Structure 1
Amino acid sequence: MTSTLMHGWAIPVIIAVVVAALVLGWFARSARQERRRVKWVANASYLTSLPSFKSRLSRYRVFLLGLSVVLVGATVVTGILAARPVDKEIRAEELASRDIVLCLDVSGSMIEYDTEIVERFLELLPSFHGERIALSIYNSTSRTVFPLTDDYTLVEEQLTEAAEALDFDVDSLDDFSYDTEALDRLLHFIAGTEGMGQDVSSLVGDGLATCAGAFDMSDEDRSRSIILATDNEVFGEPLYTLPEAADLVTERDITLHGFYAGTVTSTSAAQEKEYRDAVEANGGLFFASDDPAAVSGIIDQISAQQAVDLEADPDVIITDRPEQYYRWLVVALGLYLLAVWRLRS
């Protein structure tokens, strides 16, 4: 949803009309004053040096300045109202049939990227209407944080909690400079993902297979997709290899999108290729990045691609939002009338 003005050109037009009216009024007033008879009073020059006269003149100038400011404000607000402030919301009913499972590797090297993914989905949440989202995390074993749901209040609460827990500097563990409360939040969040022990880590195939099992309503025609984030650096013996799990995903008519964030090692090129091949064979989008900030754009590309795949023609819903500007205009006019009254008294 975005706030915008339907007729932005109206603001400069209103301002130009008011300025023209003020200029014409000024010249008309000057002409009347020139025709007015002037009465001269003898021995009155000392009046301008009196403290009372100076005080009243100062107040007059202050009110005159205030009147000018209020007039400018009222003019701008009137221009905004004439420009028609609205909220624009783009909805595509076809996208309401989407099921999206976030499948996140929560091993230490992936925490920072997971945080970006979760935060981006929090930002996108207000634009969702009917789509269902689930969050599954894994390391050596998997844990479903929340299943597929369109209860966005629950989703927002869970994603906010996840973002706060994942916002942890893993490098601080090396020099013991970490925040103990932050570490406790992280450990509580990833509890249940290390069931195979400390020597087993990032069983990507098993994690992906678990995410494939998160989809229900198999008899309905829905768009099903998994966003998998991992460095594909496996330690231990998984039940499913990544290619095997990707085949399982394909068999269930689920689109797999992959985000790779591995560091350069002697085996990283082979790990990235295996990951890319598994994703692209499934017809999904694959992204490799060493910058967590790139995640935001990646998620946007995935969402845009799904809209194209579903041939979703968006509906633009326009809602007028003049309320606050009317309040400002009433306040400005009230102050203007008060200032004029004081100037005349």
Structure 2
Amino acid sequence: MFEISWPWVFLALPLPYLLKRFNKRTANIPTLRIPSFEHNPLLTGHNEQKAQTVSMLYWLFWICLCCAFSNPKWLGEPISLPNEGRDIMLAVDLSGSMKEQDMEYQGQYVDRLTMVKAVLKNFIEQRQGDRLGLILFADTAFLQTPLTRDLNTVSQMLAESQIGLVGRATAIGDALGLSVKRFSQKKDSNRILVLLTDGQNTAGNLTPEEALLLAREEGIKVYTIGVAGDGSNNRFGLFGMNALSSSSSLDEKLLTDIAEQTGGLYFRAKNVAGLQRIYQELDTLEPIASDVQTFRPQNALFYYPLLVALFLLLVAAIKPWFYYKKSSLNGEYP
């Protein structure tokens, strides 16, 4: 559908004519009229024709310029945006232990963070209509991506995260506390936190117990996921000792308490299937409905009349020069 944003601009169309009339009335310049010159075709014919042509070009230029300033555009068909969804914050552990290769993925053992990235990538793609955010934590926690429906950005930020980016320890309390702070700005939200870690709380300014109290007060539902293998990858080090710590450092009791006291669930992810179980659970949550939002794609058209106006201005500027060259060739001017 064609639409003009500022139709009132066309009120300026008669402005050049009004200015010309006003100048004629206010001008008080004496002129000398020579009757014999009035009927001389050499002096009047070409000048009158040239003046009329240039005047027409300037009028067309002004009309096109007004059309451009009125901001014409073409509106596409209305597109409805998702009007319901969940607000889910993902908190991913980047501590040093996440590099241990005790997770089986696609027939081989990979480190824990690689497996988490691979599974969460698919998880994020299935969150159409939901708003997702990303928190990364180790020595401390920081917000990598605020809640957004731009799932591609969340997936990219997760893919670019690296072990050691924010230290080597594990600040579970800080990650939980930061999610509480972010969710406090979303009153009409499900307030769901998915916390993935492979260790115990060993750093941070906020203890898990303190953060848990804040999460309960704000009504945040926390799903905790313990990421650690079951010790089946028996590879040995230089002196016959197991090179992998497996799940010895995983504080399952803390993760279970956090989940149960906030109304969530605890999952032990020993492999891909363990992580994927959370898909079905989150799908059963009731989405938060919001007002229906629609938008119409817009294509700006102002540059078409603007280009025509510039072309006409160029023609009007060089046309007197052509008149002069033509008259010189015909011997009309000395």
- What band does the TM-score fall into relative to the shorter chain? 0.3 to 0.5
TM-score (ref. length: structure 1): 0.46
Larger radius of gyration: 2
TM-score (ref. length: structure 2): 0.47
Structure richer in helix, relative to its length: 1
